[in-house]
């Protein structure tokens, strides 16, 4: 009877091994689920960035207002017959 009990215990342990430590074990499934969650978050942030870039490209292709705004802000360009005023705020001595 003891031999049968030991044999059944070994059989149960052998059947439980793949479930806990094998190729498709609970630990690996949990790890893959965590990786999937991280990948989905990364994909969502990249999709938001791509959508913003797509909107900017469409705006630049369709309208001149976006091109003019970029030229003014990034290149310092002004229109013909416009006056450019630069306001310089004085800095206190010792903060230069």
Interacting residues of 70 by C-beta distance below 8 A, sequence separation 6+: 60
- pLDDT tens-digit readout, 24-64: 777 888 889 999 999 999 999 999 999 999 998 888 888 88
Which pTM does this prediction carry?
0.51
Provide the residue range defining the domain that includes 53. Answer: 25-76
Residue with tokens 């990948």: 39
Q: Is the pLDDT reported for residue 86 higher than 70? A: yes
- Per the domain annotation, does 91 fall within a domain? no
In a domain, residue 40? The reply is: yes
Nearest to 3 by CA among 11, 15, 18: 11
In a domain, 85, yes or no: no
Closest by Cα among 48, 66, 47, 46 to 56: 66
Q: What is the chain's Cα-based Rg?
A: 33
Q: Would residue 10 count as lying in a domain?
A: no
Number of domain units in the chain: 1
């Amino acid at each position: 009877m003891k031999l049968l009990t030991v044999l059944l215990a070994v059989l149960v342990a052998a059947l439980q091994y793949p479930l806990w430590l094998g190729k498709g074990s609970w630990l690996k499934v949990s790890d893959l689920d965590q990786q999937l969650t991280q990948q989905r978050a990364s994909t969502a942030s990249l999709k938001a960035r791509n959508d913003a870039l797509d909107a900017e490209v469409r705006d630049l292709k369709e309208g001149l207002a976006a091109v003019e705004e970029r030229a003014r802000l990034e290149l310092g360009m002004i229109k013909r017959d416009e006056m450019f005023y630069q306001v310089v705020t004085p800095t206190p001595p010792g903060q230069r």
